[in-house]
Amino acid sequence: MAGKKISAFKNEPLTDFSKSANKKAFEKALKKVESELGKEYFVIIDGDRIRTNQTLRSLNPSNREQVIGTFYQANEEYANKAIELAHEKFLKWRTVTPEKRAQYLFKAAAIMRKRKHEFSAWMVYEVGKSWVEADADTAEAIDFMEFYGREMLRYAGDQPLVKLPAEKNRLLYIPLGVGAVIPPWNFPLAILVGMTTAAIVAGNTVVLKPSSDSPSIAIKFFELMEEVGLPKGVLNFVPGPGSGMGDALTKHPLTRFIAFTGSKSVGLHINKAAAETQTGQLWIKRVVAEMGGKDSIIVDNEADLDKAAEGVLYSAFGFQGQKCSACSRAIVVESVHQKFMSKLLDKAKTLTVGNPVDPKNYMGPVINDKALGSMMWYIDKAKQEGGEIVFGGTKDDTVGSFLTPTIVDNVKPKDTISQEEIFGPVLAVIKAKNYDEALEIANNTEYGLTGAVYSKNKNKIERAKAEFHVGNLYLNRKCTGAMVGAHPFGGFNMSGTDSKAGGRDYLMLFTQAKVWSEKVK
């Protein structure tokens, strides 16, 4: 690809599994990945593979007897070592041209595209994604690499400045330094790849601490970057417990930035820890944090109720509701509530739950038994507060961590399940007197990530654009499925720093602007 003109960015197409050839190819990938399960993986710092005294087993949430991989765990000592060696590598990596850095991303994207089904198959086994959800995750990872590579080339070009006579001026975006990247398990490839490659292509080095629920997918990406020849130490792999490891990475004086996606509580803890200036620290650390949501879909009395029911259903229960963008609240104008619920419940009956290795299952397991227990607590709490379980609400934890899609009707706007992020397939349905009240309820949480409105009334749609306070608002469509380049993603309030991943502003978070001005005559 070197020396060739880079084409305009286009999103990676999703796989059509109704085609026999695609189905067979995915089944082949599942068998290949299954044959590779159970291997041991190392801590990797500056290219060195390290065995430690502690290990973690990653288990299949559909079948706890199946070990996905065994991982040696880093501790605070290794975290500090990784940061320090990554800092040394940064001094050289920052001098590599943006064009060459972008080529690493383009090469990695090309290889991932060829092995797309293998990467997706790892997600089916390790985090319980369906074929369709896993395929979309891998496609998004490819998109991030292609998009951020092109973005780095744009950032490296001449930036528009006001011209002054007898003076030459230029603005350059230069890298920050060493970053700690702490991704989540729910988009274990896409978000990890996006945060990591954005930092790397901008000229930074990275210490990657994967989620303990999805380290196998993380190491497969690490191995891919090794395969494309990324210099040792630019990317370092340090699996370990979130509490001690996260604090060590965040607090080290050489850490320049932290990119995190996860819960509100952990994100706020990282932000606080990063704000404490350490001995020898020369900068204010930058925190890029995306922390969750309590996302609402408003169903207006002038909505197409069939489309609204479909949008709510798939927004709420895609990947078991384990998306920060998932619809967890349907706010329905009361005059159409009964009719809407009838349609929603009819559609909910079509959803199948089971091991996602079988493509017939729309929903797989939730990530682990601890999460399942939390979801059952919220369901019980909803009943205590007057909610009515009209669908689902039952678990099956005999082999894996399975929960039926759960719909709770007659939820009040300030009830617990209306306010707190559950991160599972639990949908609260709230009645609103009218559209005005629906908008008011939609804005009544501490979050502000995604939202949607179904209405045929153009004036109401315009009001939503102005008044619905979320980072990503969708109109007459579901509130999940942001596409790189088309829907820069990030939210307001306690949903995070509104990073707008997959947008033109994102690389700015991993760079700093330097201006030089030269007198010419």
CA distance 489 to 110: 24
Could you give the CA distance from residue 511 to residue 155 in angstroms, rounded to a whole number?
10
CATH top class, domain 25-291+499-517: alpha beta
- Which residues are annotated as catalytic? 290, 324
For residue 257, which of 274, 240, 277, 279 has the smallest C-alpha distance? 274
Note the pTM of the prediction, 2 decimals. Answer: 0.97
Fold of 295-484: Aldehyde Dehydrogenase; Chain A, domain 2 (3.40.309)
Per-residue pLDDT of the chain (521 residues; tens, 9 = 90+): 445 689 999 999 999 999 999 999 999 999 999 999 999 999 999 999 999 999 999 999 999 999 999 999 999 999 999 999 999 999 999 999 999 999 999 999 999 999 999 999 999 999 999 999 999 999 999 999 999 999 999 999 999 999 999 999 999 999 999 999 999 999 999 999 999 999 999 999 999 999 999 999 999 999 999 999 999 999 999 999 888 889 999 999 999 999 999 999 999 999 999 999 999 999 999 999 999 999 999 999 999 999 999 999 999 999 999 999 999 999 999 999 999 999 999 999 999 999 999 999 999 999 999 999 999 999 999 999 999 999 999 999 999 999 999 999 999 999 999 999 999 999 999 999 999 999 999 999 999 999 999 999 999 999 999 999 999 999 999 999 999 999 999 999 999 999 999 999 999 999 999 999 999 97
Q: How far is CA 164 from the centre of its chain?
A: 44
Please write down the long-range contacts of 153-161, taking CB distance under 8 Å and 24 or more positions apart: 153/6, 153/98, 153/99, 153/102, 154/504, 155/98, 155/202, 155/507, 155/508, 155/511, 156/97, 156/98, 156/99
Domain residue ranges of the chain, discontinuous segments joined by +: 25-291+499-517, 295-484
Q: Single out the residue of 231, 224, 234, 235 nearest to residue 108, CA to CA.
A: 224
List the one residue out of 4, 41, 404, 473 whose CA is nearest residue 464: 473
C-alpha to C-alpha distance for 277 and 250, rounded to whole angstroms: 11
Nearest of 181, 187, 189 to residue 235 by alpha carbon = 181
- What are the tokens at 4? 């060739």
